[in-house]
Amino acid sequence: MKKYISFFRIRFQNGLQYRAAAYAGIVTQFVWGFMELLMFRAFYHADESAFPMGFSQLASYIWLQQAFLALFMAWFLENDIFSSITSGTIAYELARPMNLYNMWFVKNISSRLSKAVLRCMPILIVAAVLPKPYSLLLAQSPLSFFLFIFTLIIGFLVVVAFCMLVYIATFYTLSPLGVRIIALSLTEFFSGTVIPLPFLPTNVKRIVELTPFASMQNLPFRIYSGNIAGTEMISSILLQILWLIVLIGAGKLWMKRALTKIVVQGG
Amino acid sequence: MIELTNISKTFQISKRNAGLREAMKSLLRKEYTKIEALKNVSFTIKEGEMVGYIGPNGAGKSSTIKIMSGILTPDSGTCIIDGLTPWKNRIEHVKKIGVVFGQRSQLWWDVPVIDSFELIRDIYKTDRNVFQNNLSELTELLDLSETLRTPARQLSLGQRMRCEIAASLLHNPKILFLDEPTIGLDAISKIAVRQFIKRINKEKNTTVILTTHDMQDIEALTERILLIGKGQILLDGSLAELKKKNATHKTITLEYNCGDFEQTDGLTIQSKQENRAVFVINTELLSVARAIAILSEHADITDLSVSGESIEQVVVSLYKEFQI
C-alpha cells in the first residue's frame, strides 16, 4: 500500500506546480458558469414551473460542477499513459513489482485531485456569496451534505474506473483517438455535463439513470441541491456503488487479458 | 538460475506499400505478415555469470530480454528464473531483477533524480538501511553526487544512463538485465559503466545479462557469449574460444631499413611500401615466432607489431558464416 501512497504523493506534488494553469482554469470556470446560468435564466423567465429543477437548485448544480470539474471531466486523461503504451515505455512499468491497474488508477486520482484542490476553493467561496438566486446554496441538511461527500468520492472513482477502460482499449487500437472521442462524447452527454440529467425526456432519462454515467457527477450534485431524495436517492447510491465494483472488476480482468497479449512497441 | 527451453514468439506485423492508394486499400483489408522473432531458443545461465548476448538488429535480443523480465509472454516454451516463470509470476519475479533499457528512461522526468530513487525504494519496499548503503555506494562509484538533485530532463545522456543503472540496482537485484546500456555514451562514461558492472558482478555475485552492439563492451565484460540471429541461438561459448576458432590469422606490421621479402607458406604480403610492410600470417601453417624469425633474416627491422583479429571482425565473420 505504501508504494501507492508514495506514488500518489510524487504525482500530487507534481500537479500542484502548475499555478498559472490553475488561475486560468478558475477564471474560465467562472465565465463558463455565468454563461450557463444566464442561458438557463432566459429559459426560466418563460415559465419556471416547466422545468424539473428549481433555478437555485440549478445554480448550485452548475457551481459544484465548475468547482469539481477536474474530478469529473472524462476528457481529462493522462497523456503519458497513452504515450507509454504507444511508445513502449510501459516496459519499465511492467518491470516493477506493482499492479499496473492500481498504479494507473492512483496516477489518475492524484493528478485529478491536485487540479481540483487548487481550483475548487476559490470557486466555491465566491459562488456562495453571489446574490440569490445565482449563488451556491448550503446543503439541504447535514445528512445530505454527508451523502454529497460520500457520493462525490464514489462518483469520482467511477469516472476514473471508466477512464481506465479507455486506457486499456489503447492496448488493442494503439491510437487512442477513436475510442477516446466516442467514449468521451458519450460520457459528456449522459453524465449530465452539458445539461443536468433531469432535463432529459422522461423515457430517455429512465434508461440513462441506470447507466454508469448517471453515477458520476449527476448523483452527488443533485443530492447536494436536494433535487433527489428518499428511496430514489438510496437506490441511486446503491447503484453507484455497484457500478464502481463492476467497472473496476471489468477493468482489472480486461487488463489481465491485455497484458498476456501485449506487444511492447519499439526495439 | 536462468533456464530457457524452446522459447518461441511470433509477431504479427501489418505491412503496406507506400502511397495514398495503398493506404486507402489497407483500410479495407489489412495485410499481416507473421515474423518469427524467436524460434526454439534454449539456454542456461548460472548464478553469478556475466553473459554477453549479441546479434544483429532485429535478431531477437530485446524480445528475449523482455520475456526474461516478464514483460512479454512467449507463444510456447518454458522459462524458469530462480524458480519462477516470469510472465506468470510477474510481480514476484520482478522484485528480484533489475532492468535497464538503454533506449528508454525509468526516471520521472520532472522531478530530481533522488525523488525517483526514493519512489523506487518504496515500490520495492527496500529496507531503509540497505537503500542508504546502496545509494551512497552507487553515488560514489558512478559519480552521481552532482546529478542526484537535478531533474532527469536536465541531465546529459551519460549522466542519465548512470542514474538509470543506479536506479535498477537500488533494490539489490539478483539478476541484472542490461539492454544496450552503453548506447550513445562517450568513452569516459562507457569505461565508468563497464567498470561498475564488473564490480557489481564480482562483489555481489549478481548475474548479468547484457545485450550490446559495442564489441568493446563484450570484450571488457563478458566471458561467455550467446550469439542470436534470426531468432535462433547460433553459438554459445567463451569469448576466447570464439576468437580462437575464428581468428586463425594475425597481422604483422613491420618497419625496416632495408631488405627484401618473399612470400612463403602461411605468410602473405598484404601491402608493401618503402620501409613499411604489412603481412598476414596463417597461424595454422606458421607460428608467429617462426614468422618473425624469417622476417628478421631478410631485413633490418626497426619496429614490429603483431595484432590479432579484432572482435568486430570475428563477429562480422560469424554473421557471414551463419548468413544473418
User: Would you say A62 and A33 are in contact if contact means Cβ atoms under 8 Å apart?
Assistant: yes
What is the rounded radius of gyration, in angstroms, for the C-alpha atoms of chain B? 25
Considering only CB atoms, A264 lies closest to which of B72, B87, B110, namely B72
- What are the chain A neighbours of B103 within 8 Å (beta carbons)? 266-267
| Per-residue model confidence as pLDDT tens digits over A112-167 | 999 898 888 899 999 999 888 888 888 878 888 999 999 999 999 999 999 999 99
**Who has greater pLDDT, B214 or A38?**
A38
Instruction: Kindly report the nearest CA distance between residue A98 and chain B, in angstroms.
Output: 6
Q: How far is B247 from chain A (nearest CA, A)?
A: 31
Please report residues of B whose CB lies closer than 8 A to that of A7. 119, 122-123
Give the predicted TM-score (pTM) of the model.
0.82
CA atoms within 13 A on the CB side of A112: 24
Q: Do A7 and B119 count as a contact with CB atoms less than 8 A apart?
A: yes
pLDDT digits 0-9 by tens, A89-117: 888 888 888 899 999 999 999 989 998 98
pLDDT bin (cut points 50, 70, 90) of residue A263 is low
B52 is written with which cell numbers? 554477453
Q: How far is A173 from chain B (nearest CA, A)?
A: 13
Residues B97, A163: Cα–Cα separation, whole Å: 31
Which residue is closest to B10 within chain A, CA to CA? A263
Calculated CA dihedral for residues A195, A201, A204, A206, nearest 10 degrees: 100
Chain B residues in contact with A92 by the CB 8 A cut-off are 99, 101, 104-106
Single-letter residue type at B303? D
Return the pLDDT at B55.
83
User: Three cell numbers at A4?
Assistant: 501507492
For the question of an ipTM over 0.85, the answer is no
What pLDDT score does B209 carry? 92
pLDDT band at A265 (very low <50, low <70, confident <90, very high): low
Mean pLDDT of A205-219: 91
Q: What cell was used for A238? A: 446503491
Position B76: which residue type? S
CA–CA separation, A31 and A26 (whole Å): 9
CA–CA dist B112, B104 (Å, integer) = 17
Closest by CA to A173, choosing from A100, A86, A265, A261, is A86
Residue B242 grid coordinates:
570464439
Mutation target vs A (from B75, B99, B122, B174; most A CBs, 10 A cutoff): B122
Q: Which triple of cell numbers denotes residue B58?
A: 532485429
SS3 string, B113-170, reads HHHHHHHHHHHHCCCHHHHHHHHHHHHHHCCCCCCCCCEHHHCCHHHHHHHHHHHCCC
Residue A42, helix vs strand vs coil: helix
- All cell numbers assigned to A95: 518491470
Residue of chain B minimizing CA distance to A7: B119
**DSSP string of B166-200, one letter each residue:** HHTTTT--SEEEEESTTTT--HHHHHHHHHHHHHH
Whole-angstrom distance, CA of residue A256 vs CA of residue A251: 9
> Per-residue DSSP letters for B234-293?
EEEEEHHHHHHHH--EEEEEEEEEEE----BTTEEEEEEETTEEEEEEETTTS-HHHHHH
Residue from B6, B68, B307 nearest B210 by CA: B68
Q: How many CB atoms lie within 10 A of CB B123?
A: 20
pLDDT computed for residue A48 by the predictor: 80
What does the pLDDT read at residue A179? 83
- Give the pLDDT score at B206: 92
3-state secondary structure of A266: coil
**Which cell numbers hold the place of A233?**
436517492
Amino acid, res. B209:
I
Q: Check if the beta carbon of residue B197 is closer than 8 Å to that of residue B209.
A: no
Q: Which residues of B touch A (CB under 8 A)?
A: 11, 57-58, 62, 66, 69-73, 87, 90-92, 94-95, 97, 99, 101, 103-106, 108, 110-111, 115, 118-119, 122-125
Q: What is the DSSP letter of B211?
A: E
- One-letter amino acid at B83 equals G
> Which residue in this structure is represented by grid cell 622476417?
B295
Residue B2 backbone phi and psi in degrees, to 5: -120, 130
Q: Tell me if A124 sits within 8 A of A67, measured CB to CB.
A: yes
Task: Compute the nearest-CA separation of A161 from chain B (Å).
Answer: 22
DSSP SS3 for A101:
helix
Q: What are the pLDDT digits (tens) for B277-292?
A: 888 888 778 888 888 8
Q: How far is A263 from chain B (nearest CA, A)?
A: 7
Angle B49-B54-B57 (CA atoms, 0-180°, nearest 5)?
Answer: 150
For the segment A2-34, what is each residue's pLDDT rounded down to a tens digit? 888 888 888 888 788 788 888 898 999 999 999
According to the model, what pLDDT value does residue A105 have? 95
Q: What are phi and psi of B227, to 5 degrees?
A: -105, 125
Taking CA atoms, what residue in A is nearest to B122? Answer: A3
- Give CA–CA dist A239/B172, Å, rounded: 47
**Contact check, Cβ <8 Å, A97/B110:** no
Radius of gyration of chain A (CA): 19
pLDDT at B11: 82
- Residues A63/A125, Cβ–Cβ less than 8 Å: no
Element (H, E) at B309: none
Overall average pLDDT of the A234-259 stretch: 94
Q: How many CB atoms lie within 10 A of CB B18?
A: 7
Burial of A65 (0-12, 13-18, 19+ CB in 10 A): buried
- A106: CB partners within 8 A, 6+ apart: A4, A7, A8, A11
Contacts of A178 (CB under 8 A, 6+ apart): none
In this complex, how many residue pairs, one in chain A and one in chain B, have their CB atoms less than 8 Å apart? 76
User: What is the pLDDT, as a whole number, of residue A250?
Assistant: 96
Low-confidence ranges of chain B (pLDDT < 50): none
